Structure formats: C-alpha cells, structure tokens
Amino acid sequence: MTIQQNLSHTQGLGETNSIWFKLTALTKGNPENPMQTLQMMADRYGPVIAVNIADQRVVFLTEPEHFKHVLVTKADDYIKYFDGLKPVFGKSMITHDGVLWQKIRMPQQPAFHPDMFAEYIPYFLQAIRTKMDLWSKLAETGEPFEMVEQTWTLAADMICKALFDRDMPFNPHFVFKCVKTYTDVMEHKAIRMRVLQGEDGFSLTEENAAKAMEIWASVPPAVFAQNPNEERQRTLLKMIETVVADPEVPEFDQQQAIDELKQYLWAGTETTALTLAWAMYLTSKHPEAADRIRKEGETVYGDREPAAADYSALAYTRAVIQETMRIYPPIWGLIRVATKADVIGGKEIKPGDRVVMFAYGAHHNPKFWPDPEEFRPERWMGGTKGQVKYSYLPFGAGKRSCIGGAMSQVENTLALSMLLRRFRPEYLGKEPPGFSGTVTLTPKGGLKFRVRELS
Ligand code: HEM
C-alpha cells in the first residue's frame, strides 16, 4: 500500500480544526471505551472542565443542572455547532438557529405529532416484515451479518415508507457504507497522525470519504424522483413540498427541501438503528429480557400484528429501548458554541467556547442511576418519577430536542418486539464490544450476529 501525500480532502469531520477531531485527544486511554477518560476527568476535575486544545477552548459539562442551563434556560446564547457535518446535513434545520430555524421547523412539526403515529404504523410494519423475510433467509444459511447495517437499512425503509410515501429508491446497504466511511473520524485522525509521523504501510481513506458524500448528495433527489406508493396526503414529504411552494416562506426553497431529506435520512436512521442494534446486543446477553419481550408480545397482540392501540401496552419492550439508550446513548455528547460571556458552576464561559454536554457521563453516573453499568429495564417500569431531571438526554432537551424522538421509540419498540418473537439473535463478536465516540456512539468494527428462527 502507498501513502498518498495529497490531502486535498473535501470533507471536514476529521479536520484538525474540527471539534470532533479535538475531542479525540480527550478520549485517549481505553481505546475500547473512549468515554472512560471523560468520566475520569469529570470525577477528578469536577462538573465544569475547561481545556485548551490547540487554539480552541472546550468546556465540558457533566451536571444535569448545567445541561438545563445551556439547553433550556439560556438556549438562545448557545448555538449549534455543525462545521464538520455540513456535507452530511447541508443547510437543513438541525444546523440553524433563531428565526430561520423556527421558520424551517414549524411547517414540519405536525408530521411528528403523536396523533400521526397510528397512520405510520402500517408502514413501519411493512418494513419490519421485509426485514423478517430477509432474516428468515439468513437463519436458513446461518450466515453471520452486521447488525448495525441490518438495523440501519430497516430504519431507512421505515422513514421512506412512513414519512415519504416511497420505497427506498437507493441501495441502502451501499448508502450505509458511505455513511460509515464519512463518520469514522477516529480513523481519519489515526490516519493523519501516522502521515505526520511519516510512517508507512497504509492507505488514506479521505478520498473515499469525499466520494461517500457525493453519493450521499444523490440520495434525496432520488427520493423526490420516485413515484409515491399511495399518494398519501398527510406525509412529511407533502408538508415539505407545500412549504416549498409557499411564496411566504422564500427561505424554504428546493435546496432546503433536499437538505431536509438528507437530515432525516441521517439523523432519523443512524440513531434509531444504533439503538435497535445495541438493544439486540443487550437482549442477546440477557435472554431473560428477550423472553419477557416475547411473552409481552404474545399477551398484547398474540398471533396478529401489533396495532397502534397495542403500543402503550408494550411497556417492558419500550423500557428495554429506554434502558438501551441510557447505556448506549447514540448521541453521547451535545455540542454548542457560546455566543455570549457567561458563568457556569462558577467558571467563566467565553464567547466562541465549544461547550460539550456529556450525556453519556450523566447516564452512567451512580448519583443519578443506581448500578449504572447494570442493564435493568425494570427501572423504567414505574415511569420517570424519582429520576433527576436532565440526567437522561438521549433526545437532547429544550426547544432543540429531537423532533423524531417519540416516533423512534414506536419504531424500535415494534421492531424489537416483532423481531424477537420470531428470531433468536446470537451475538458473535468480542465481549464486551468496543465502541468509538465519534458523532455517534458506534460499535467498533460493528456488532456481528447470527439469527435462528424460532419454531
Ligand atoms: C433513537 C433515535 C434518535 C435519537 C437518539 C436522536 C437523538 C437526537 C438528539 C440528541 C438531538 C438533539 C441534538 C442537539 O441538541 O444538539 C436530535 C435532533 C434531531 N433529530 Fe433525532 N434522534 C433520534 C431519532 C430521530 C428520528 C426518527 C428523526 C426523524 C425522522 C430525528 C430527527 C431529528 C432532527 C430533525 C433533529 C433536529 C431538531 C432541531 O434542530 O430542531 N431523530 N436527535
């Protein structure tokens, strides 16, 4: 293999001036669990830690009351940070702030109202059925497969069918690989360090990352070009088309529409998929939980498929999803940029500081969660009373919290229930699986599985 010296990459996720790149310096230590160093830092230096990395001041927060301060109380003074992720999200709403953000979010919000979920469920079920057919074939051959790829393709199918009224007009396995090529910032960093040190014997992937983004950019136009499945009028895509045609909202142009789709196909699939994949891992390690999910499904919907009215009764399955997101929060840290001087926990915050809210740290803090390393879905069965507010942040908090969080719980609860009722997934990877804390908390090298079909 050769070293390619020309580093004219078009992407920015792993660039040295990106926060994602800088954070890798803080996550050295246990390469299988980069969160441990951050947890140790929090134990040692307290709840507000300011560090200078290169020319950048990064402030780490680990206390729920400080999360509330930034995300709720002073939300307008802390804006979004998206530098390295622009190629992924374009100018979609997730990247904006203030009035523009509001103008873009408002017309789409109704698509995520819980009243809509009953309309989406038949399409979630269609996608789950397709996945079950595939797993049935995989069970016959006993072929090992990558769980995150399986759950990503399922999540993408659910979004396309339910929210866009389309079948996936792209090869989801191929697009999944592009997504992963771009986001593996740890690899970007490792590669660049070796280049700087003049080592030999590896190849660069930065061109691949740029290519991956080109392919990614071609996905939303393909969705728009695809014929609708049923000409449904109440879909997210219809809402987007309506606002594009509205002269009163000139900011919401065709490019905005394309970028909104990019956002949904990433923010709405990667996170949902990671949650379901980690849930498969945890339930394969806790067969009693998998059995309880099967029994709950049997009691609630028996031999038919679950309907909207069954969702609330799938309390244990939902608790497994909630507990999975506590242990493996897909978004392990929320990032903002301070726009004004402030004081948090007695420490000075300067305009321009990158503020990182360490959600994973709060989720694993014994102050808020007894025996935090234990997988205990039962802790969710009595509701959320007694929990410290803002100590659980899988979907963020305040006005910028996840638009699709509640919907993803429906998707994942139904998928986990139905897939486990028919299959017994067996985890084949190393124990415990390592993970990298890039933008998302991603299993290192994936989660290898095999499935058996239950009789
Ligand atoms: C387990 C699944 C999911 C997790 C863990 C998750 C997590 C998050 C988090 C933490 C944020 C806030 C980030 C911040 O404050 O910096 C967010 C925002 C967002 N999420 Fe999700 N998400 C999930 C599923 C979804 C789904 C299913 C969709 C849509 C189909 C979605 C679309 C969005 C959008 C559009 C935003 C930006 C909202 C705004 O800026 O106003 N997410 N998500």
pLDDT in tens, 308-354: 999 999 999 999 999 999 999 999 999 999 999 999 999 999 999 99
Spatial contact of 411 and 300, defined as CB atoms under 8 Å apart:
no
Atom of ligand 1 nearest to the CA of 155: 27
C-alpha 263 to ligand 1 mean position (Å): 9
The residue-averaged pLDDT of 72-86 equals 89
Query: For ligand 1, atom 7, which residue shows the shortest CA distance?
Result: 395
Please identify, by atom number, the ligand 1 atom nearest to the C-alpha of residue 397: 15
Q: What is the mean pLDDT of the chain?
A: 89
Strand duo 56-61 + 145-146: pairing: unpaired
93 ligand 1 Cβ < 6 A: yes
**Closest atom of ligand 1 relative to the 330 alpha carbon:** 5
Residue 237 is which amino acid?
L
- What pLDDT, in 10s, does the model give residues 222-266? 999 999 999 999 999 999 999 999 999 999 999 999 999 999 999
Whether the pLDDT of residue 8 is over 70: the answer is no
CB-facing half-sphere around the CA of 262: CA atoms within 13 A: 25
> CA-to-CA distance for 271 and 408, rounded, in angstroms?
9
Ligand 1, atom 13, lies closest to the CA of: 396
Q: What's the mean pLDDT in 69-81?
A: 96
Helix residue ranges, H only, 8-116: 19-26, 35-45, 64-68, 86-89, 98-105
pLDDT computed for residue 56 by the predictor: 84
If one residue of 106, 402, 439 were mutated to test the ligand 1 pocket, choosing by the most ligand atoms within 8 A of its CB, it would be 402
Burial of 201 (0-12, 13-18, 19+ CB in 10 A): exposed
DSSP 342: E
For atom 3 of ligand 1, which residue has the closest CA? 271
Q: Is the CB of 92 under 6 A from ligand 1?
A: no
* Contacts (Cβ under 8 Å, ≥6 apart) of 186: 24, 436, 438
Does the CB atom of residue 265 touch ligand 1 within 6 A? no
For residue 412, the ligand 1 atom closest to its alpha carbon is 1
pLDDT (mean) for 150-160: 97
For atom 6 of ligand 1, which residue has the closest CA? 395
**pLDDT score at 364:** 97
The pLDDT tens digits for 164-220 are: 999 999 999 988 888 787 776 555 555 455 444 444 444 445 667 778 888 989 999
**Which band of pLDDT confidence, cut at 50, 70 and 90, is reported for residue 281?**
very high
Nearest atom in ligand 1 to the alpha carbon of residue 159 is 30
Lowest average pLDDT, out of 36-50, 76-90, 268-282, goes to 76-90
334 in Cβ contact with 71 (< 8 Å): yes
Q: What is the pLDDT of residue 204?
A: 42
Neighbouring-strand partners of residue 437: 441
Averaged pLDDT for residues 13-34 = 70
**CA separation for the pair 454, 297 (Å, rounded):** 14
Q: Whose CA is nearest to atom 19 of ligand 1?
A: 402
Q: Where are the beta strands (DSSP E) in 301-440?
A: 333-338, 342-344, 347-349, 354-358, 423-427, 435-437
Q: 441 - beta bridge partners?
A: 437
pLDDT of res. 198: 46
pLDDT higher than threshold 60 for residue 278: yes
Q: Is the pLDDT of residue 1 over 70?
A: no
Ranking 86-95, 108-117, 188-197 by mean pLDDT, the lowest is 188-197
What is the DSSP code (8-state) at residue 72? I
Kindly state if the Cβ of 330 falls inside 6 Å of ligand 1: yes
Residue 340: predicted pLDDT: 98
CB of 94 sitting under 6 A from ligand 1? yes
Amino acid making up residue 363: H
Output 51 or 208, whichever has higher pLDDT: 51
Rounded to the nearest whole angstrom, what is the distance from the C-alpha of residue 332 to the centroid of ligand 1? 12
pLDDT (0 to 100) of residue 178: 82
Label residue 62 by pLDDT band (50, 70, 90): very high
